[in-house]
Amino acid sequence: MSRTRVSRRSCLRRREADRVLPDDPAAVNFVVARDLVRAHDLAALTDDIFVPAGNKASAAVPGTAVHDAMQYALDDYNTDAKLTDSLAAMLIVIAVGYSVIAVANSMAMAAHGRRRDYAVMKSAGGTVRQLLKLAVGGTALLVVVGAGLGVLVTLPPLAGMASGLSQATSSDVSLHLNDGAIVTAIVGTLAAAVLAGVMVTGRTLRKSA
C-alpha cells in the first residue's frame, strides 16, 4: 500500500484489513491502493524498495539501481560515520584552539610576573640566553605536566562510557584513542606556550637592559 495525502473535503474512507472505518473529518492521511496511486501519479514511488530474498530484483527500469542489503546498510553507516567524524573534528579543533590560546596567555602572564626575578638573576650574572633557556624549560615542564594530568583525568570517564555501552549493547566496546590527535594537541600547545613565554621574557629582558 502507498500513503498519500488528500483533502478533508474528500469523501474517501480509510480501510484497515477487511473493515471500513467511519469518516473522520479530522483525519487527513489515508491509505489507498497502490494501483490507484500509480493511476493518478506515476512518480509516486518510494526512494527505496526492499525486495524479498527469494525474488530477483531487476534494474531494467531507467533511473533505478540494485544494491545488496548488507552493502546498502554499510554505505548508510559510512555516510553517518563521516558526518560524525567531521563534527567531532570540528569540536576538537575548537576546543584545542581555545585551550592553546588560554595556555599561551597564562604563560605570557606568568613570564611577565617573573620580570623582577629575571632582573635579579640578570644582575647576578645571568645572560639573556640562559634566562631564555630557563623560561623555555619552565614553560615546557608546565605544559608536559598539564598534558599528562589532562590525559589521566580523561581516561576514567571514557573507560566508564565504553563499559556502559558494552553492557547496553551486549557487545564488546573498547576504548580507542587517536594518538595523532593527542600528540598534535600537545605539540601545538607546547609550541604556543613556549613562543608566548619567550616573547614576553625577551621583551622584559630588553627593557631591563
Q: What angle do CA 207, 208, 209 make, to 5 degrees?
A: 95
CA–CA separation, 189 and 101 (whole Å): 8
Sign of the dihedral through C-alpha 65, 69, 72, 76: positive
Tens-digit pLDDT profile for residues 5-55: 444 444 344 444 444 455 454 555 666 776 777 677 766 656 677 777 677
Q: Tell me, what DSSP letter sits at residue 171? A: S
Tens-digit pLDDT profile for residues 126-180: 888 888 888 889 889 989 999 999 889 989 998 899 889 888 888 888 888 888 8
CA–CA separation, 201 and 1 (whole Å): 77
Stated pTM of the model: 0.58
Residue 63 gets the label, from left (phi > 0), alpha (psi -120 to 50) or beta, of left
